[in-house]
Amino acid sequence: MTKEYVVAKTSDIAPGTAKQVEVDGEPIAIFNVNGEFFAISDTCSHAQASLSEGAVEDFVVTCPWHGARFDIKTGKNLCMPAVTPVQKFDLKIEGDAITIVM
Ligand code: FES
């Protein structure tokens, strides 16, 4: 059974930035890439930095600690030192509400 969590408003997250939200104590990073929204785990798979604090370029976020890059759409790790992906979450937009679907 899926659960839905309204976590933010679209106006909370400017294009090219991210926001950390929490669902059941789990930090999730919501990214706005040119008006499209994506959600991945906010915990880097290398050493647990917050990916929502990383630099965003197109659909790639660079971890602020050691420079691993992740695909914002899928959570896939793109370079060292990360060797595993981060979890991707489904979301939906209704009006200005961003909802995580788990
Ligand atoms: S914590 Fe992200 S690259 Fe090291």
CATH number of the domain enclosing 72:
2.102.10.10
Q: Which atom of ligand 1 is nearest to the CA of 81?
A: 3
Whether residue 82 contacts residue 68, with contact meaning beta carbons closer than 8 Å, is answered with: yes
Output the pLDDT for position 72.
Answer: 98
Whether residue 84 contacts residue 41, with contact meaning beta carbons closer than 8 Å, is answered with: no
Domain range for 34? 4-101
CA of 20 from ligand 1 middle (Å) equals 17
Helices and strands: H and E segment counts in the chain = 0, 9
Residues 41 and 73: their CA atoms lie apart, in Å, by 11
> What number of other Cβ atoms are within 10 A of residue 28's Cβ?
26
Residues 46 and 38: their CA atoms lie apart, in Å, by 21
Give me the residues paired with residue 74 across strands.
none
How many domains, in total, are found in the chain?
A: 1
Cut 0.95: pTM above it: yes
Q: Which atom of ligand 1 is nearest to the CA of 44?
A: 2
Q: Is the CB of 102 under 6 A from ligand 1?
A: no
pLDDT tens track of the chain, all 102 residues? Answer: 899 999 999 999 999 999 999 999 999 999 999 999 999 999 999 999 999 999 999 999 999 999 999 999 999 999 999 999 999 999 999 999 999 999
